[in-house]
Amino acid sequence: MNPLTKLRELRIAERTGDAWERVPLLARGGLAMVLLALLIYLPFLNILPFAHIRTDLGDGGAGWSGVLFIVAIYVIIAMGLNIVVGFAGLLDLGYVGFFAIGAYSVALFGSPNSPVVEMIQNKYDLSEDWAVAWVACLPIAVVLTVVSGVILGAPTLRLRGDYLAIVTMGFGEIVRITAKNSEWTGGAQGITNVPHPPPHGAQPQNDFFNVLDIYRWYWLALACLILLVFLVTRLQHSRVGRAWLAIREDEDAAAIMGVPAFKFKLWAFAMGAALGGISGALFASRQGFVNPDSFTLQISFLFVAMVVIGGSGNLVGVAVGAILLTYMPERLRTVEFLESWAINPVEWRTFVFGLLLVVIMVNRPQGLVPSRRRARELADRKKEAEVLNV
């Protein structure tokens, strides 16, 4: 074989490490189309036996489209956190802070009865129902989260890994406690009347994205998700992505080779924060209100669990993690066996996450659907340990 071709193949195998790259381009496109069509069709799935995956078949099940929407949102979050944890190897325990800032930016600027909007109304003599349009709120959310990511990262990213984790955890709590105790964020009650995305009808219930047709919200989240998957994979395979990889594997070696570690770590924080902000904004608009209770530290641990259980560093892996950890509790809610034992899976999920975290970290630290490169890294360390422990 021509050595150049061989080199190219090696490179490709290294890049994604799976068979997907070897499938012909046309077939790949076709498969992607079929998958996309399936995802769009998913809210209306009613063909048995496939419909068993729906969450609303038994009594007390959650609305299926609502669950799909939340799953899509959480996959976006897992992708954002994966940039920080999986690519750059920085443990962020306060990621919920960015999610909260995204949600609160839409609420604070878009809702006509938020204290911030009321202040602007009074200052410029605007009408009672003036507020920033949803389309403008989204960029505001992204900008604010990126800025807060940089503000958090700039002083703390020089810290060692485990210290960084604790400090970011503090950041998450600071955001929540500030939102809860300040008057300009609506305090513990939070803010209502968060705007819907356009197109708008004459009445709120005539909006295209209204409170009844939730499948449309799912489509919106899905569209954002697909766009972001595209952007993140491009980023992963760019110079920035390679720099993150180098930093994760050996920061000192990367620095010696001329990778400005601090700069790229800050980039990772900012990019991850932006994704958290987008999903937070979607979450707030769908819910119609925000309050500090949605942004507790437990949610932050849930995000970390999604990434590391799925397989940090691998987009498919973290998506699997997010789907598993958000969808399964809802699906199990209607299982009769659990009902007869008076077990509510949604209430038990934190316990199960804890169990899963320990079991997976001890037995399969690379996660369920690992990135090959990460798995090899861990296997190497294990080999070194075997030499040491003889």
Partner 1 sequence: MDFDALFNSLGEHTVNGLSRGAVYALVALGYTLVYGVLRLINFAHSEVFMVGTWTVMGIYTWLGVTQQSSAGLIAVGLLLALLAAAIASAAVALTVERVAYRPLRRKNAPPLIFLITAIGCSLILSETFGQVLPWFFEESPWATTNDSPFGRALQNIEQPIDSAVLFTIGGTEIRNIQFILIVSALVMMVALDVFVNKTRAGRGVRAVAQDPDTAALMGVNKDRVIMLIFVLGGAMAGVAAFLYELRYGFTKFDIGFQIGVSAFTAAVLGGIGNLRGALVGGLLLGVVEVYSSILWESKWADLVAFVVLVLVLMFRPTGLLGESLGKARV
Which residue, chain included where needed, has tokens 């608009």? 285
CA atoms of 211 and 337, how far apart (whole Å): 32
Q: Does 350 bind partner 1 (CB under 8 A)?
A: yes
Secondary structure in 3-state letters for 256-306:
HCCCCHHHHHHHHHHHHHHHHHHHHHHHHHHHCCECHHHHCHHHHHHHHHH
The smaller minimum CB distance to partner 1, of residues 147 and 357, is found at 357
Residues 6 or more apart from 63 whose CB is under 8 A from it? 55, 56, 214
Burial class of residue 206 (count of CB atoms within 10 Å of its CB; 0-12, 13-18, 19+): exposed
- Structure-token pair, residue 293: 């209770």
Q: Which stretch binds partner 1 (CB under 8 A): 25-33, 88-96, 106-114, 120-128?
A: 88-96
Q: Which stretch binds partner 1 (CB under 8 A): 13-21, 202-210, 261-269, 340-348?
A: 340-348
Helix (H, G, I), strand (E, B) or coil at 191: strand
* Selected binder of partner 1 within 126, 357, 368, 369 (CB under 8 A): 357
Q: Which stretch binds partner 1 (CB under 8 A): 10-18, 103-111, 151-159, 194-202?
A: 151-159
CA atoms of 306 and 79, how far apart (whole Å): 10
Give one DSSP letter per residue of 57-79, joined into a string: SSTTPPPHHHHHHHHHHHHHHHH
Smallest distance, Å, CB 27 to partner 1? 38
Q: Does 112 bind partner 1 (CB under 8 A)?
A: no
Q: Does 159 bind partner 1 (CB under 8 A)?
A: yes
Q: Does 253 bind partner 1 (CB under 8 A)?
A: no
Decide: 311 and 371 in contact? Cβ < 8 Å: yes
Q: Does 346 bind partner 1 (CB under 8 A)?
A: no
The smaller minimum CB distance to partner 1, of residues 54 and 248, is found at 248
- Bond from prior residue into 195 cis (ω within 30 degrees of 0): no
* Selected binder of partner 1 within 289, 348, 369, 372 (CB under 8 A): 348
Site string for partner 1, 364-383 (x = CB under 8 A): -x------------x--xx-
CA atoms of 347 and 52, how far apart (whole Å): 22
Q: Does 143 bind partner 1 (CB under 8 A)?
A: no
Q: Does 385 bind partner 1 (CB under 8 A)?
A: yes
Binding residues (CB under 8 A) for partner 1: these are 89, 91, 93, 155-156, 159, 161-163, 165-167, 169-170, 173-174, 177, 181, 297, 301, 304, 308, 341-343, 347-348, 350-351, 353-358, 361-362, 365, 378, 381-382, 384-385, 388-389
